[in-house]
Amino acid sequence: MALEFRSVTKTFTTNSGDLLTAVKDVNFVVNEGEFVSVVGPSGCGKSTILSMTAGLYQPTQGEVLVSKERVTGPNSHVGFMLQKDLLLPWRSIVANIEFGLEARGVAKAERRERALRELRHCHLNGFENQFPYQLSGGMRQRAALARTLAIDPEIILLDEPFSALDAQTKLLLQNSFAKTISETGKTTLLITHDLAESVLMSDRIIVLSERPGTIVAEIKVDLPHRDQPIKRRMMPEVSEYAAQLFKHLKLEEKAA
Ligand SMILES: Nc1ncnc2c1ncn2[C@@H]1O[C@H](COP(=O)(O)OP(=O)(O)OP(=O)(O)O)[C@@H](O)[C@H]1O
């Protein structure tokens, strides 16, 4: 088991001193090599779940385990990638990918070798000496994924990495990420607003209720081609899964 949430509740104290429960009694596991998405209404605690997995916040109750060890702070078992690529503009692409390794004291030759390997995994061969401003949005996101993979984490956390892109770039990038993640066999947790994306990319989808977020459904996506969302997109079953998600999120009722 790569990741486990055991009866996790997170309560924040707001600036005005009120208590706000973001997620309540959340229990789930993510198995090794599995790709799991978390969907739910805005503000239901999706990012809070990622932050607790990364060790940025501690649960108020319950515990989070990565590779059976309790998460007590930021650690190298977990790689985090955000919507914004956060590449350093003054560093070349390869130097950006090396950044996390440098911070961990990995020797220069090994750093370069690992960075170039992830660059190839993320289909950025030939762009190693370019700077972030010379790359398209999709390529920058691939570079950010390469940087996350370079530290060889046990789990990759993706927080809406495709949400700022146009529809076509998004689909190509989803495909590219899916392929890379599948090749590397990494356990992945994706947070997304996009229900279709969760069906196209996941083995399983966790659906959260409105705040305080509790799990209202876990849906196994029984479709082939997890490594090729473009192929999944052609399958009629995708809209059936999306309809199930709609129902669990009570979207029709809300629209009425
Ligand atoms: N550090 C914090 N202090 C106080 N409240 C917080 C903090 N972080 C998150 N919250 C609150 O917890 C709730 C859940 O936030 P979170 O960002 O996890 O939701 P989300 O599902 O990721 O939202 P969205 O889909 O809009 O990005 C929100 O009401 C948010 O305001």
Over range 5-32, report the average pLDDT: 96
pTM listed for this prediction: 0.93
Asked if residue 140 belongs to a domain, the reply is: no
If you take atom 23 of ligand 1, which residue's CA is the nearest one?
Answer: 43
If you take atom 25 of ligand 1, which residue's CA is the nearest one?
Answer: 42
Measured N-to-C along each axis, helices 137-150 and 167-184 cross at an angle, to the nearest 10 degrees, of: 20
pLDDT band at 81 (very low <50, low <70, confident <90, very high): confident
Q: Find out whether the beta carbon of 16 lies less than 6 Å from any atom of ligand 1.
A: no
Asked if residue 246 belongs to a domain, the reply is: yes
If you take atom 28 of ligand 1, which residue's CA is the nearest one?
Answer: 43
Instruction: Report whether pLDDT(254) > 80.
Output: no
Question: Tell me: the pLDDT tens digits for 22-49?
Answer: 999 999 999 999 999 999 999 999 999 9
CATH number of the domain residue 246 falls in: 3.40.50.300
Q: What percent of the chain is predicted at pLDDT more than 70?
A: 98
Over range 117-123, report the average pLDDT: 89
Q: Find out whether the beta carbon of 47 lies less than 6 Å from any atom of ligand 1.
A: yes
Question: Tell me: the pLDDT tens digits for 219-252?
Answer: 999 999 999 999 999 999 999 999 999 999 886 6
> Collapsing DSSP states into helix, strand and coil, what is residue 206?
strand
Asked if residue 139 belongs to a domain, the reply is: no
Q: Find out whether the beta carbon of 22 lies less than 6 Å from any atom of ligand 1.
A: yes
Asked if residue 58 belongs to a domain, the reply is: yes
Overall number of domains in the chain: 1
Q: Find out whether the beta carbon of 43 lies less than 6 Å from any atom of ligand 1.
A: yes
Q: Find out whether the beta carbon of 20 lies less than 6 Å from any atom of ligand 1.
A: yes
- What is residue 132's predicted lDDT score, i.e. its pLDDT? 94
Question: Tell me: the pLDDT tens digits for 173-224?
Answer: 899 999 999 999 999 999 998 999 999 999 999 999 999 999 999 999 999 9
Asked if residue 168 belongs to a domain, the reply is: no
Instruction: Report whether pLDDT(75) > 90.
Output: no
ipTM above 0.85, yes or no: yes
Instruction: Report whether pLDDT(85) > 80.
Output: no
If you take atom 20 of ligand 1, which residue's CA is the nearest one?
Answer: 43
DSSP 189: E
Q: Of 227, 156, 186, whose CA–CA distance to 144 is shortest? A: 156
Q: 119, 127 in Cβ contact below 8 A?
A: yes
Question: Tell me: the pLDDT tens digits for 100-109?
Answer: 899 889 999 9
Backbone angles phi, psi at 235, to 5 degrees: -85, 130
The verdict on whether omega for the bond into residue 89 sits within 30 degrees of 0, i.e. cis, is no
Q: Which domain holds residue 15?
A: 1-77+189-256
Asked if residue 150 belongs to a domain, the reply is: no
If you take atom 26 of ligand 1, which residue's CA is the nearest one?
Answer: 42
Instruction: Report whether pLDDT(114) > 80.
Output: yes
